[in-house]
Amino acid sequence: MSIIKDLLEKSTPLSAASRYTAINGIFYMGSGALFIAWPGAIQTIFMDSAFAVREEALVRLVGMTLAVIGWLYLFGGRSGARQFVAASVFDRVVLAPAVLVPLAMAGVFPHVLMTFAVLDPLLGIGAWRLLARKS
């Protein structure tokens, strides 16, 4: 099948920023898979309060979102395109905290969202520094 071949195609030697972005993608996919398979990870790992009604479904939605973002970061990083790494820096440093911090402050999964509100910009800054090296 051609699409599988296209997905597995090796690109030219990747820069450190592209490899870093691809590895971040694996982290996001893994986090997403964890939340999809085990929504209770929110309580067990992040010590958030017990679900009141049907929040398990929302955790799975967050998991799917993380997995899709991870998938895109993995293959965006593997493409070797500097533009992709730069675009990921912007959304991680600016957009993610702007959305996640107010949600966490409103009491929506506060520990997990604040964790990602801090971790995401830090990972984005790491990509930014690697991008600046032009390696």
Q: Using one digit for the tens of pLDDT, what is the confidence trace for 105-121? A: 999 899 999 999 999 99
> Is residue 63 scored above 70 in pLDDT?
yes
Predicted pLDDT of residue 11: 79
Name which residue leads in pLDDT, 50 or 118: 118
User: Across residues 30-53, what is the average pLDDT?
Assistant: 94
Q: State the DSSP H helix or E strand holding residue 87, giving kind and residue range, or none if neither.
A: helix 82-90
Tokens of 53: 């009604």
User: Across residues 32-48, what is the average pLDDT?
Assistant: 95
pLDDT-derived band at 134, boundaries 50, 70, 90: low
pTM of the model: 0.91
pLDDT-derived band at 10, boundaries 50, 70, 90: confident
Tokens of 48: 């958030």
Count the alpha carbons within 13 Å of 75 in the hemisphere toward its beta carbon.
Answer: 10
Tokens of 5: 């071949």
Per-domain residue ranges of the chain: 15-133
114 residue type, one letter: M
The answer to whether the CB of 59 falls within 8 A of the CB of 45 is no
Predicted pLDDT of residue 49: 87
